[in-house]
């Protein structure tokens, strides 16, 4: 079923696109990771370390992968010398992703003062401190909106480099002052044209392998799930149950990797949803509901920009479509919804009901099954898929609440499904 699928994109491009999701966390402050990457590359140029370019680019794009809370994002913007756990979270995520594991310590220390980095490898220490400086410059300029290069230089010197110079390596402070002499810097940092901030592709002709694409999906899925204490492991559970439905039904027509990655990334757009909406203990009002419903379209828009992810984007964007046309965002009906998208929909509903949420406690397996069967009666869900769950609802419960990465739990075939 999975033969022949391969993403047609290198790591740099995939990270550039997926960092769109991290940019959504600030809601109004978009392109932060891309501007940090752009400024970081300018600093590397002044330092005369061209071989650092790619690592700076990659680490900058994902340096805030431990930040999924809009509240935490606002705290990071307000305080220059920030101490919190997001750097540790980001480091753990990168350590589990082979292509970026060597940058784990860079991300761990991207808010660590220079004087506290003496025990690190010198290159790692300098890269971490460089990203710290680029991050603070961008946060400052984004909040103050300097109109020209001279204003930006004054702003950065008065509010960052002079009072907080001790946070950074002396040669980085000198490099920042030199970079800020260039009028192009302020134009780039004020630009909303995301592609102007892209680094020329350095991955060469090699595309991501399916295994690395899956690893990248796991990294971002964990970022999404960390947004709320009520959604921990949600994406993993959805992926595990969706794969079980695909295996047990024999109905899937596409590559298994596509279904798994779409399941892992179906809620990518939720990074844009403010925390107070996700964690509201009562019913959402009309405005809040409209904001929440944007997440499926945002997931599709982001994923559609990655070469070879077109089917993944399509499936992820359909995970709230229902067979009777009452779903969103497009109100699709019946056969307009691919069976793979239906796997994700059923898995998403089951997993959400199996978790504590701010407005209710987790439901028992038989209670969830009753709700799914009622959805079949009203024509919203496929009876075949719900019947698979009914044949062993306790096993479905185990998959939905999986504590390991999807694929690690055996998927049981259901005879006669």
Q: Residues near 284 by Cβ (< 8 Å), separated by ≥ 6? A: 277, 292
Q: Which CATH class is domain 210-400?
A: mainly alpha
Residue-wise pLDDT tens digits, 52-64:
999 999 999 999 8
Q: Per-residue pLDDT for 80 more than 70?
A: no
Percent of the chain residues past pLDDT 90, beyond the cut? 63
Mean pLDDT of 2-8: 70
pLDDT band at 223 (very low <50, low <70, confident <90, very high): confident
Q: How far is CA 27 from CA 32, 98, 219, 270, 273, in A?
A: 11, 30, 21, 11, 8
> Is residue 414 very low, low, confident or very high in pLDDT (cuts 50, 70, 90)?
very low
Q: What is the pTM of this model?
A: 0.87
Confidence at residue 411, expressed as pLDDT on a 0 to 100 scale: 38
Most confident range, picked from 11-25, 67-81, 85-99, 199-213: 85-99
Of the candidates 270, 280, 361, 366, the residue annotated as catalytic is: 270
Structure tokens at 278: 């996700």
In angstroms, the CA 114 to CA 175 distance is: 15
Give Cα 403 to chain centroid, integer Å.
19
Separation CA 8–CA 11 (nearest Å):
10
Report the distance separating Cα 109 and Cα 39, nearest Å.
Answer: 18
Q: Model confidence over 226-261: pLDDT tens digits?
A: 877 666 689 999 999 999 999 999 999 889 999 999
Question: Does residue 253 sit in helix, strand or coil?
Answer: coil
* 8 A C-beta contact, residue 231 and residue 278: yes
Asked if 395 and 252 touch (Cβ cutoff 8 Å), the reply is no
Reference 156, options 182, 190, 175, 180; nearest CA is 180
User: Please, what is the average pLDDT of the chain?
Assistant: 87
Record the tokens describing residue 25, joined without a space. Answer: 């966390």
CA distance 95 to 103: 8
Active site residue 280: no
The pLDDT tens digits of the residues spanning 371-400 come to: 999 999 999 999 999 999 999 999 999 999
Cβ burial, residue 15 (10 Å; 0-12/13-18/19+):
buried
pLDDT at 200 over 90: no
pLDDT confidence band for 29 (50 / 70 / 90):
low
DSSP-based three-state secondary structure for 325: coil
Strands (E), 63-221: none
192 pLDDT band, cuts 50/70/90, is: confident
Q: Where do the domains of the chain lie?
A: 31-191, 210-400
31-191 CATH pick, 1.10.10.10, 3.30.300.10, 1.10.3210.10, 3.40.190.10: 1.10.3210.10
- Exposure string of 386-398, with b = 16+ CB inside 10 Å and e = fewer, is bbbbbebbebbbb
Cβ neighbors of 56 (< 8 A, separation 6 or more) are 37, 40, 41, 43, 44, 127, 130, 131
3-state helix, strand, coil in the chain (%, to 5): 65, 0, 35
In this structure, of 8-22, 217-231, 306-320, the range with the lowest mean pLDDT score is: 217-231
The C-alpha atoms of residue 319 and residue 327 are separated, in whole angstroms, by 9
């Amino acid at each position: 079923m999975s033969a022949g699928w391969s993403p047609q994109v290198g790591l740099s491009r995939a990270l550039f696109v997926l960092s769109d999701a991290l940019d959504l966390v600030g809601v109004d402050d978009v392109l932060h990771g891309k501007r940090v990457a752009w400024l970081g590359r300018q600093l590397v140029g002044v330092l005369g370390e061209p071989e650092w370019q790619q690592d700076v680019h990659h680490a900058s794009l994902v340096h805030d992968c431990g930040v999924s809370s809009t509240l935490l994002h606002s705290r990071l913007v307000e305080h220059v010398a920030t101490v919190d756990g997001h750097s540790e979270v980001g480091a753990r995520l990168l350590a589990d992703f082979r292509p970026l594991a060597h940058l784990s310590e860079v991300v761990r220390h991207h808010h660590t003062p220079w004087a506290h980095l003496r025990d690190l490898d010198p290159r790692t220490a300098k890269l971490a401190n460089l990203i710290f400086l680029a991050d603070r410059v961008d946060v400052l300029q984004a909040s103050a909106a300097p109109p020209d290069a001279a204003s930006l230089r004054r702003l950065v010197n008065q509010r960052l480099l002079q009072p907080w110079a001790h946070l950074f390596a002396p040669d980085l402070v000198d490099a920042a002052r030199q970079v800020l002499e260039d009028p192009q810097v302020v134009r780039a940092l004020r630009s909303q044209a995301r592609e102007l901030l892209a680094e020329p592709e350095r991955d060469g002709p090699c595309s991501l392998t399916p295994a690395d694409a899956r690893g990248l999906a796991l990294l971002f899925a964990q970022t999404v799930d960390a947004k709320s204490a009520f959604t921990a492991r949600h994406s993993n559970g959805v992926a595990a149950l969706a794969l079980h439905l695909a295996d047990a039904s024999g109905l899937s027509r596409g590559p298994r990797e596509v279904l798994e990655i779409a399941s892992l990334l179906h809620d990518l757009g939720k990074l844009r949803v403010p925390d107070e909406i996700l964690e509201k203990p009562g019913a959402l009002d009309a405005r809040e509901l409209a904001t929440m419903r944007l997440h499926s379209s945002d997931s599709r828009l982001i994923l559609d920009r990655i070469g070879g992810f077109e089917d993944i984007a399509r499936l992820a964007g359909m995970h709230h479509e229902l067979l009777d046309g009452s779903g969103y965002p497009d109100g699709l009906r019946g056969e307009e919804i691919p069976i793979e998208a239906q796997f994700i929909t059923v898995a998403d509903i089951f997993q959400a009901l199996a978790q504590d949420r701010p407005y209710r406690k987790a439901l028992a397996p038989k209670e969830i099954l009753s709700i799914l069967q009622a959805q079949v009666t009203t024509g919203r869900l496929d009876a075949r898929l719900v019947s698979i769950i009914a044949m062993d609802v306790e096993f479905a419960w185990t998959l939905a609440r999986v504590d390991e990465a999807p694929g690690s739990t055996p998927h049981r075939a259901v005879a006669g499904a």
